[in-house]
Structure 1
Amino acid sequence: MKIAIVGPAFPYKGGGAHHTTELAHRLAAAGHDVVIESWRAQYPSFLYPGQQTISEPEGEPFPGTRHRLDWRRPDGWWRTGRNLRSRDLTVLAVLSPVQVPSYLGILAGLGRRAPVVALCHNVLPHERKPYDVPLMRRLLRRVHGVLVHSEAQAELARGLTARPVRVAEMPAHLPGAPGPAAAARAEGVRRRLLFFGIVRPYKGLDVLLRALAKGPDDVALTVAGEFWGGLEDTEKLIAELGLESRVELRPGYVPAADVPGLFADADALVLPYRTATASQNVWMAHEYGVPVIATDVGGFAGQVRDGEDGLICAPGDVASLAAALDRFYAPGEPERLRSGVRPADHGPLWDAYVAALTAPNARGGAAR
């Protein structure tokens, strides 16, 4: 098949760009003719306040990547769609409703019969705006099929469109392989936990900080990632809880080269999310031999084997998370749980993912 993926790719950073690139590599390896239509300017800065691009690629860029899309040039959206009419399938990587206007422009250029699948990382944002539902409803009613990463997301999508909705577990799209620090990780207990990734309210860092104050009093925490709304509220909470000596803040985007050291210094990765869809962070921790303490949201309970390679607790519940921290640091438990960690074999997951995306009935009929 001749397939086009429309989505972020290097020099854009983060999970969306990694996924787009890895998907293109996997589709090409399966024998498809693949191009990526990416962006030279994806969002205005007020819609994405963090760092948008990086100077060095993380992982192998896909050679068939074009950067012709610009949020300031709607005429270019239509031209891109027009140029993709000869493709057997166009995949729109949907990370946020703010992409919808540009995707509608591409769809206008594609015409009604060119097969299009919306690959939704999130059908709706965790923190919603009034315009999110009408924008996503309009997009999902215009495509021929929808691919999501969980049954909960499928239900959301089916509430917005009558088009076919398929579910496929999101496989790993990790930038690069674990470095030498991963091997050194096997020795000793650090009495340190890790919170990793963009800090947003739905990810529950405030719950973790309160649980840390109630849990073992000699355990430290590293928080590494971009703070979506600034540091002030987090710094204030740390001071109120008396955790200044136990919490290290490392604000800003974490380059791939720095990731091994963060995991080497941690006994466990903590994912205290209030809500979730799919996350790469469990897979990443397991690649570095690190157990995970996560809440029972999204797909975490399917990725973390409670009591075997990590612990599961209730979302938004300080007492439940504090109890999990106590349980984790019981004598011998960090070592036992770490011994149970096994990196996943993502080859079969990717094979199933590619099959779900390219199956004829995933693309439905002509959009109306």
Structure 2
Amino acid sequence: MTHSGPGGGRRVVLVGPAHPYKGGGARHTTELAHRLAAAGHDVVIESWRAQYPAFLYPGRQTIDTPEGAPYPRTRRRLAWYRPDGWWRTGRELRRAADLLVLTVLSPVQVPPYLGLLAGAGRGVRTVALCHNVLPHERRAADVALVRRLLRRVDAVLTHAPGQADLARGLLAGRDADVRTAELPPHLPRTPAPAAGAAPEQRVRRHLLFFGLVRPYKGVDVLLRALAAGPPDVTLTVAGEFWGGPEALRGLAEKLGIADRVELRDGYVPAAGIADLMADADALVLPYRSATASQNVWLAHEHGLPVIATRTGTLPDHVRDGVDGLLCAPDDVADLARALAAFYAPGAALRLRAGVRPVDPEPYWRGYLAELLR
């Protein structure tokens, strides 16, 4: 039976991270709740008191200052170490919701989600909202865990066609409802520029990598390309380094570019993003693989062109030769070529002039329609 919220909309429970958890997953869950509520639905976020064991997420998990407006109807009852709470919460949701959306960021979440689903029974329609169907760097049990979850829900929402294909592969032999909707903009709220301020029109010969530093992000490829590219260009790598920065620091020293590379280890809060962007000519995203990323749009919001690899949705957001440059993934020579092309006379300023901020509204309209279909 389908029930209605107070405004005639649906009663929706989003299970996922929200403040004080940080990063794109928490921002997306919160923005989705605000958008659904604004569309007339009765929305609650069922968030986490403790989302992951520390040894599985070595970085900082929470922050003190929200990166956007918190959603007021947020509960924080789930904990990875309390299986009794998973089932009990699911039992409550059986009566409180007609749509249960499970935000899938890691296979570590699957056991709690299966506990929730066991408590909720079959009376609630369920959607697995997969930021990544499987991790970029997989553990032995990941495939089995995610397959079990996807076979238990009513529908799967992915953010890229390749991810939808991956989900269908895990559901082989079943008539699966697998959908794709591009991940909409949910950028960190950063201070607005001063009235009348305009980007300074000069080339600094300085590049930026920004975000969580993991092997699939290809920062080692970027360091090698930097060594092979224009000899006076510098680079800042800013973000949490999983496993520490020592390996990349050693590579920079081996390549003879340690004096040109700053490794800034630690989570960058929203208030610090503008200064990082202001010091750079371009954001570089040298990913070996990707699904969806907000970082192209984030750079464009700050007036920066982007040098990115052709993987995931990155080439959909970068207009090659207009507001950035594209190159092959995991290819040092092609990335070095792109860096040299970016610093050809007049190119950097021409690409900066082509940058336009994203309009989030069309993305969100399509996203909500696909989620609620």
TM-score bracket relative to the smaller structure: over 0.9
Q: Deviations over 1:89-141 (max 9, x none)?
A: 00000000010000000000110231000000000000011101000000000
CA distance in 1 between counterparts of 2:194 and 2:295 reads 17
Separation (CA, whole Å) in 2 of partners of 1:8 and 1:116 = 17
Determine the C-alpha separation between the residues in 1 that align with 2:199 and 2:236: 16
Decide which of 177, 182, 187 is 1:164's aligned counterpart: 177
Look up the match of 2:63.
Answer: 54
The within-5 A match list for 1:1-368 is 1-86=10-95, 87-161=97-171, 162=174, 163-180=176-193, 183-359=197-373
8 Å Cα contact 2:50/2:78 also seen in 1: yes
Is the Cα–Cα contact under 8 Å of residues 190 and 270 in structure 2 kept in the other structure?
no
d(CA) in 2 for partners of 1:147 and 1:5?
A: 13
Deviates more, 1:202-211 or 1:111-120: 111-120
Shift of 1:348: 1.1
Q: How many residue pairs end up in the alignment?
A: 359
Partner residue of 2:3? none
How many angstroms apart in 2 are the aligned matches of 1:152 and 1:186?
A: 39
Q: What per-residue deviation string (whole Å, max 9, x for no partner) do you get for residues 241-281 of structure 1?
A: 11121111110000110000001111100000000000000
SS at match of 1:330: coil
TM-score by length of 2: 0.95
**Letter of the aligned partner of 2:63 in structure 1?**
I
Task: List runs of 5+ in structure 1 lacking aligned partners.
Answer: 360-368
**Structure 2: distance between partners of 1:341 and 1:85:** 47
Could you tell me how far apart the structure 2 residues matched to 1:150 and 1:256 are?
26
Deviation per CA, 1:320-361: give whole Å up to 9, x if none: 0000000000010011001111111110110110110011xx
Query: What secondary structure sits across from 1:35 in the alignment?
Result: strand
Does the CA contact (< 8 Å) of 2:300 and 2:357 recur in 1? yes
Q: Distance in 1 between matches of 2:169 and 2:151?
A: 11
User: Match for 1:97: what amino acid?
Assistant: P
SS of the equivalent of 2:156 reads strand
- In 2, are the aligned partners of 1:59 and 1:175 still within 8 Å (CA)? yes
Q: Who is 1:366 aligned against?
A: none
TM-score w.r.t. the length of structure 1 is: 0.96
d(CA) in 2 for partners of 1:186 and 1:152? Answer: 39
What is the aligned-residue identity percentage? 69
CA contact (8 A) 1:42 1:71 kept: yes
Compared CA separation, residues 302 and 178, structure 1 to 2 (3 A): farther
Query: In the alignment, is the contact (CA less than 8 A) between 2:191 and 2:271 conserved in 1?
Result: no
Deviation, structure 1 residue 178: 5.0
Q: Where has structure 1 moved over 2 Å in runs of 4 or more? A: 177-187
With a CA cutoff of 8 Å and minimum separation of 6, indicate the structure with the bigger relative contact order: 1
* Partner SS, residue 84 of structure 1: helix
SS in structure 1 at match of 2:56: coil
Q: Classify 1:24/1:73 alpha carbon distance in 2 versus 1 (closer, same or farther; 3 Å).
A: same
Deviation at 1:177, TM superposition (A): 4.1
C-alpha RMSD of matched pairs (Å): 1.1
Structure 2 gap ranges (5+): 1-9
Whether the 8 Å contact between 1:178 and 1:287 is mirrored in structure 2 is no
Separation (CA, whole Å) in 1 of partners of 2:117 and 2:101: 11
